[in-house]
Amino acid sequence: MTAPPPKTAPPPVNRPLLPSAAQIAPYLERIDASRWYTNRGPLLVELEQRLCALAGLPEQALTLTASGTAALEAAILATAGPASAARPHALIPSYTFPATALAAERCGYRPWFVDVDPATMAVDPRALARHPQLARCGVILPVAAYGMRPDLAAYERLRAETGIAVVVDAAAAFEQVLAHRLISEQVPLALSFHATKSFSTGEGGAVLWGAAEGYAEISRIINFGFLEGRETRSPGLNGKLSDYHAAVGLAMLDIWPERQAAQAGVAALYRRSAADCGLDGALLLTPEVSSAYALLRCRDASQAAGVTERLTRRGMDWRRWYEGGVHRMRHFAALPRDALPGTEELAATLIGLPTAIDLSRDALDPVLRAAAG
């Protein structure tokens, strides 16, 4: 009797692959030799420089941080400062990962949830410029959902028209930064380099900001509010990235071109498989969104319910990455908000499908067949 062919497990919704121990080792040896483990060590400085060069940005346009959340906190404190009694609110889209709202809370703000346009998955800057709460708002936090390209020029106009600080949560938008050299003097972007993102240091993040004082400001804020000397001069936090994390990032940069090609290859497989299943046009993939996501946009909530029911029944992994919007989460449920029809529509119709840099057609075909019904 011949043994049945081994059954491959369905792919998890996200399966990161970071550089191997062997690829990181030469950088770790440099840390062993220098005995400089954190606090702006040589590897961190080198990673900042290489990232700026890769993105075609001036040196010091980017400050590495311990996480994307730390980058958000630092950028809020640098541009808006902590909340005040006169301006207690932060305007935040509900269609996001909770870190956006948590970062605002850590800076003392009370989130006020606003809606997004389902077409762009982003806030409408013109609508926000007329928002009734503006006079009580200290900071506005648009989100580049799934790493889509943020309309930086529109956010700069929003900042100029309202005089209110704007910080873009561009957690997953690193590839858009590279493709479009995104940088602004007025509006900082916060990036995440978490393991699930396309470029990663394991945990990590960065503030991207073109203001002359931006680099020194962020570096001070993430270092307890001091840089030279040890006297705290501003609000701050410990938001530093260690040189160990920088080692992972440097090893990642060494293989970045091959990784980008592999990610584009997976997106091409997805498109072909979707066409074979009659789902062409329904997928959102790189380069429109970050290569860390493969999203199925359903016609309506009832189609989405059918898709998720079939995926679950066949043991396939899927995720609503932004759940039902953060306004539905227990911690945020009592906070003030606008009507959120765009958020509700996206939450009901957008389904995250498995992604990985080494996903094969054999692994993703059954997922799309199940999704198609």
Ligand X SMILES: Cc1ncc(COP(=O)(O)O)c(C=O)c1O
Binding footprint of ligand X on the chain (CB under 6 A): 67-69, 96-97, 99-100, 143, 169, 171-172, 192, 194, 205
CB-based closest residue to ligand X: 68
- Our CB check for ligand X shows the closer of 125 and 205 to be 205
Using an 8 Å Cβ cutoff, are 360 and 135 in contact? no
Residue 155 or residue 274: which is nearer to ligand X going by CB? Answer: 155
Buried b / exposed e across 98-124, counting CB within 10 Å, b at 16+? ebbbbbbbbbbbbbbbbbbebeebbbb
Q: Identify whether the C-beta of residue 61 lies closer than 8 Å to the C-beta of residue 208.
A: yes
Question: Minimum CB separation from ligand X for residue 267, in Å?
Answer: 19
Q: How far is the CB of 69 from ligand X (least distance, A)?
A: 3
Nearer to ligand X, 83 or 143 (CB): 143
Tokens matching residue 266: 């997976």
Q: Minimum distance from CB of 189 to ligand X (Å)?
A: 11
Cβ distance to ligand X smaller for residue 171 or 218: 171
Residue closer to ligand X (CB basis): 80 or 368: 80
Please, what is the minimum distance in Å from the beta carbon of residue 147 to ligand X?
8
Tokens at 148, concatenated: 């889509």
CB 167 within 8 A of CB 134: no
Instruction: With both helix axes pointing from N to C terminus, report the angle between 42-55 and 21-34 in degrees, rounded to the nearest 10.
Output: 130
Strands of the sheet with 205-208, listed across from one edge: 62-65, 205-208, 189-192, 168-169
Query: Minimum distance between the CB of residue 206 and ligand X, rounded to whole angstroms?
Result: 10
Using an 8 Å Cβ cutoff, are 171 and 293 in contact?
no
